[in-house]
Structure 1
């Protein structure tokens, strides 16, 4: 089936209030921050939330259908070759090294490691192991030159160039040594920013030594942890056209969008999770399907929200107004919008959100509507 002729972007806008936490620490161990609109904001890096999203995938999708990112691809391939061939670890490792040599990835400091993290699908690596499994005994008996010649005839690189798992298709892959293995990311994730100014605070803590005697005084340990609390604006966008190209299948592309929206909305970085128990759910999720370009609405908070109470509601109103201003100015109305929020149904905030984004839906209904719209979009493009 032909690719969609036009571009289609799925923008995800999220407001989420987080209690005292240190989700994503800097080199000093304190929560990351940024200056925006002239004030200091809480910040969570895009890398941290992408990692959290990928981890959430693992809870929902079979392991074999996902990717992994590691330097230790040699050890993983060795294990796959050993399984079912009867070869010992040394012979299997030799075959694995010969196969990976075809990729010409720079070697790391440790034997068998690559110089950088390599992002690959588990099924892709299994397909590479399958290239030698039936001939494992025969190939292991060859000398190094003969083995290299036999491996040259095998489509090793092709196994990593097709059949991409969902997370590689979404987040992309860059291999500096081998441009042919690069996969253009279908997803962009912004750094999450607080909609208001924040101040860094410190938790001074002590820990008691359970075994100290009554005669002993003082704490067994003393320390501090930096933290802040914030209502965060989170944004990501998915290019359906690029995702469709990476996955080469319409239904798989739509499913990948649905899974990404789910995991992006429900995931949370785990930094100091045991100390702060900071996991919350968003108070607002807006999904907008655009045929023109992605639009990050962070400018809604360039002037920081400054109310003394109700930061989330004030932020939601700012977001709705900014979306309305952008449409009036540029004339770029989304092809589809879906809204899910937790604000009081009878309040002014709920009414403004409804006027701007449409009837609020439960999150499963939002996903269902999004899936139907994207499915229809791809069907129309294929005609």
Structure 2
């Protein structure tokens, strides 16, 4: 695809008391922006939540595994393909295949996490059996299979590999550039972390004066978050997807980004919420993160932060469009309240279909 085409997704979402994403001390992650402390959720955390959501949105063969246990996956597939060989033999075949494919491992595990699709595991397993039964000399086999190993690991990437990329330090030819970028989300306003002091009672203790069986503290905050991501549609098509396949990917991506939630301390806080405002655009110039709308933090108000955050976002986008970039080729908004913005007002259930229809018209 020769022209630029980007899908930008902007979300405002209020999260009640929670600890969605913790740092190394167990505290909710924060960042200083606009001179004040903000709540923050890392892009890695939200992408992980999205990948878990992909399990419900895509077929199993469309998604991949990010793991050190490549050998285990390969052996399991070899068992299905060849029931005549014992486990020890299949493990040796797998080890040889991983070595030939330049997937370094120690003690049966890869040294670092590796992203691989279900289809690539299947291709690697079939090639491993073919290689093991080939009676040619090692030199001849190396020449014959060199490109086959690479093809097995580069053809048929999964949806999540296409979107989030893959880096293989041991063999850069196996790398995939990410078609999607996800920003660290931040609160639109200043935030101070708080502490919950809790106790737990021993149900089987008969001593009325024994006190609590356990006590502790958990840190939390609450905030209205600005979340942003962008998908390079051209990149997806350059990687071999046709427009229908791109539509399938965008459908799942929109649903996952808008609805998924990281699971940190979820059992403690039950903080699953949905956005109050979602603004989706198709751009033919460049992606634009609108976090600058909140460089000046939204002030405290007895009416909360949502309405003022939406107002600040709309005002800022107009300034950006007037001074720096073109208006989007097409835009949609999903919002709980009435808003004044130049975009089609839609419901979430209809949003993916409308975006895909427009994509097809542009192509």
**Per-residue displacement from partner, 1:153-176 (whole Å, max 9, x unpaired)?**
331220111111111101010101
1:275 to 268, 274, 279: 268
Give the number of aligned pairs. Answer: 359
Structure 2 segments unaligned to the other structure (5+ residues): none
Correspondence list, 1:181-220, <5 A: 181-220=174-213
Cα offset, 1:254, TM superposition: 2.3
Matching of residues 274-313 of structure 1 within 5 Å: 274-308=267-301, 309-313=303-307
Structure 2 CA distance for aligned equivalents of residues 290 and 157 of structure 1: 35
Distance 1:48 1:272 in 2: 13
Deviation at 1:135, TM superposition (A): 7.7
Partner residue in 1 for 2:350: 365
Q: Name 1:105's counterpart in structure 2.
A: 103
Paired with 1:194 and 1:100, the residues of 2 have a C-alpha distance of 45
Aligned residue number for residue 159 of structure 1: 152
Match of 1:253, SS state, is helix
Q: What RMSD over aligned residues (CA atoms) do the two structures have, in Å? A: 1.8
Over 3 Å counting, the alpha-carbon distance change for 1:72 and 1:151 in structure 2 is farther
Deviation at 1:333, TM superposition (A): 1.0
Aligned-partner SS, 2:226 = strand
CA deviations on 1:54-98 (whole Å, 9 max, x unpaired) are 110011212222101000001110111122412111100111111
- Among 93, 111, 115, which residue is 2:111 paired with? 115
Give the superposition deviation at 1:317. Answer: 0.7
Q: Find the aligned partners of 1:359 and 1:314 in 2 and give their Cα distance.
A: 21
* C-alpha contact (below 8 Å) 1:18/1:280 kept by paired residues: yes
Q: Structure 1: where are the runs of 5+ without partners?
A: 379-383
Q: Distance in 1 between matches of 2:79 and 2:140?
A: 22
Instruction: Indicate if the aligned counterparts of 2:282 and 2:330 stay in contact, CA closer than 8 A.
Output: yes
Counterpart in 1 of 2:20? 23
* C-alpha distance in 2 between matches for 1:170 and 1:369: 21
After TM superposition, the structure 1 = structure 2 runs for residues 214-363 of structure 1, keeping only pairs within 5 Å, are 214-308=207-301, 309-343=303-337, 345=338, 350=339, 352=340, 356-363=341-348
TM-score normalised over the length of structure 1: 0.90
Structure 1's consecutive aligned runs of 4 or more residues displaced over 6 angstroms after TM superposition are none
Query: What is the CA–CA distance in structure 1 between the aligned matches of 2:104 and 2:123, rounded to whole Å?
Result: 22
Deviation at 1:357, TM superposition (A): 2.9
CA drift of 1:51 comes to: 0.5
Maintained 8 Å contact 2:179/2:232? yes
Report deviation, 1:234: 0.1
Q: Paired residue for 2:74? A: 77
Deviations 1:273-295, CA, capped at 9 Å, x for gaps = 00000000011111111111110
Does the CA-based 8 Å contact 1:190-1:235 persist in structure 2? yes
40, 46, 49: which is aligned to 1:49? 46
Determine the C-alpha separation between the residues in 1 that align with 2:253 and 2:139: 41
Over 3 Å counting, the alpha-carbon distance change for 1:114 and 1:341 in structure 2 is same
How much has 1:133 moved relative to structure 2? 4.2
Q: How many Å separate the matches in 2 of 1:74 and 1:148?
A: 24
TM-fit CA distance, 1:325: 0.5
Residues of 1 paired with 2:98 and 2:89: CA distance? 15
Residue equivalent to 2:164: 171
Q: Distance in 2 between matches of 1:216 and 1:153?
A: 78
**Aligned pair partner of 2:123 in 127, 149, 154:** 127
